[in-house]
Amino acid sequence: MATNKASIANVYYNDQLAGTLQKDGRIYTFIYDDAYRIADGRPISITMPLRAEPYKSDILFPVFTNMLSEGANKKMQCRMLKIDENDYFRLLLATTRQDSIGPITVKETL
């Protein structure tokens, strides 16, 4: 089920708000939270160093794509959650809210 409505999620690094991730149509945007950046927090990825300017891409940033399951596990998750296998953003929101491997969690804002 595709939608043109923008979706926004908070990205946490070790339970500290690091920034926001947004999908608007086919464009993904990540921007670091000012307080996190000014406090000299850790970058969420070596390819996304701390900066005030937003990161924009027409694909989901690799740091988030790498958090997703692959193969049979992905198929099973998508079937159970009723999410299209190509909808990486919805799958990210559904599976990385807690207990993710590594310091990053992603939680949809309401």
Q: Is residue 2 part of a domain?
A: no
Assigned domain for 76 exists: yes
State residue 78's pLDDT score: 83
Owning domain of residue 13: 7-108
How many Å apart are CA 40 and CA 57, to the nearest integer? 24
Between residues 29 and 100, which one has the greater pLDDT?
Answer: 29
For residue 91, count other CB atoms closer than 10 A to its CB: 23
Q: Which tokens hold the place of 102? A: 């590594």
pLDDT at 30: 98
Alpha-carbon span 5 to 32, nearest angstrom: 22
Question: Is pLDDT at 6 greater than 60 in this prediction?
Answer: yes
32-91: per-residue pLDDT in tens?
Answer: 999 999 998 899 999 999 999 999 999 999 999 998 888 898 888 889 889 888 889 999
- Looking at the structure of the chain, the number of domains it has is 1
Say what the pLDDT of residue 38 is.
Answer: 94
What's the pLDDT at 19? Answer: 97
Question: Could you identify the residue written with the tokens 């999908």?
Answer: 23
